[in-house]
Amino acid sequence: MSALAALAHRVVRAVVIAVALAVVLWMLLLALYRVVDPPLTPLMLLRLPEAGAIDHRSVPLDRISPELIRAVIAAEDNRFCIHGGIDWSAVKDAVEEYERKGRLRGASTITMQTSRNLFLWPGGGLVRKAIEVPMSYAIELAWPKRRILEVYLNIIEWGDGIYGVETASRRYFAVGAARLTRHQASLLAAVLPNPREWSAVAPGPYVVQRAAIIRERMDDQTTSCIRSR
């Protein structure tokens, strides 16, 4: 075996070992986070130099307003209780809309956003998507829907250095997440696609309109998949 071939063999072996260790670590974290609230996420650490601080606290789903739960499902993933991690119907609709209008809209489910925020990095790219899809299926198999939504609501970014609905509720409306009104919940859900640019307390016309649409959809949302532990 030539020196070059030997080096290539060592590199491939090192990569395989690194990938295997990463998978094992991820599986351990997946099992741990089913019962333990994640203290940090990669996004929190990446944003830290710019935000200057991490304001994050977790609360049980029972201490989050049902209005907020319905608003977020209406805004982000109205088939959350039905799909198995990937909403292929939404993907199909997004592709057809792109073919008609040349505009690509997101089709990420709450499960996909949970996997992305909890384990991966921000931004697009085929590599991240290729990891995100099987990871989302694995999360659906490992966790009940209730836990997926609970983790999502407790780690999602709601502004510079602001993570989780309890922090956002207190920062923007001076109440705990359990006391959010329908109107407040719809505004918080409305800014989720761009929480660092849009404001829930000083909403522009687009956010106001989006929040109104979310309120119209809220009563049609099923939350049966999260009612039991």
Distance between CA atoms of residues 87 and 93, nearest Å:
10
Q: If we measure between CA atoms, which residue out of 124, 113, 36 comes closest to residue 73? A: 113
Distance between CA atoms of residues 176 and 165, nearest Å:
9
- Please enumerate, as own/partner, the contacts of 222-225 that have beta carbons within 8 Å and a separation of 24 or more: 222/81, 222/82, 223/66, 223/69, 223/70, 223/73, 223/81, 224/81, 225/80, 225/81, 225/144, 225/145, 225/146
Percent of the chain scored above 90 by pLDDT? Answer: 66
Distance between CA atoms of residues 96 and 61, nearest Å:
36
Q: Write out pLDDT tens, residues 133-180.
A: 999 999 999 999 999 999 999 999 999 999 999 999 999 999 999 999
Which parts of 148-203 are beta strand (E)?
Answer: 162-163
As given in the structure block, the two tokens for residue 177 are: 């997440």
pLDDT range class, residue 121, cuts 50, 70, 90: confident
Mean pLDDT of 209-223: 91
C-alpha angle with apex 30: 73 to 44, nearest 5 degrees? 65
**Threshold 0.85, pTM exceeds:** yes
Q: Write out pLDDT tens, residues 87-112.
A: 877 767 666 665 566 555 566 899 99
As given in the structure block, the two tokens for residue 37 are: 């609230």
Residues 6+ apart with CB under 8 A from 198: 190, 191, 204, 206, 207
